[in-house]
Amino acid sequence: DTAVSQTPKYLVTQMGNDKSIKCEQNLGHDTMYWYKQDSKKFLKIMFSYNNKELIINETVPNRFSPKSPDKAHLNLHINSLELGDSAVYFCASSQGYGRGQPQHFGDGTRLSIL
């Protein structure tokens, strides 16, 4: 059973398009995250939701909009895609947001902008 699942695994699209990435976790966690991993493997947090409430919103362009319909899902919608958006996007979840809580990651969505 996949704990944190993301779809699609690969996403190839043209510049200027709008796309969404979906994330679901079946761990019963109440906090979910989106991270971006660039071509040099550097990981940076983008957003975090706790019980459907936004609690972390890093400096991310307004073209990126997370949506959490319930605490098991956190989707990422991206408008007007740009070349610089090419990256691997990881969803993660944790039980609460205490500093010792480990985060569980999905396998990533590789976004390529043509």
* Sole window of 14-22, 27-35, 67-75, 78-86 interacting with another protein (rule: CB under 8 A): 27-35
93 makes contact with another protein (CB under 8 A): no
Cross-sheet strand order for the sheet of 19-25: 4-7, 19-25, 73-78, 64-70
Among 7, 43, 51, 82, which residue sits at the site for another protein (rule: CB under 8 A)?
43
Cα 70 off chain centre by: 15
Task: Report d(CA 92, CA 72) in Å as an integer.
Answer: 11
**Which residues of this chain interact with another protein, rule CB under 8 A?**
4, 31, 33, 35, 40-45, 48, 50, 55-56, 58, 90, 92, 94, 97-108
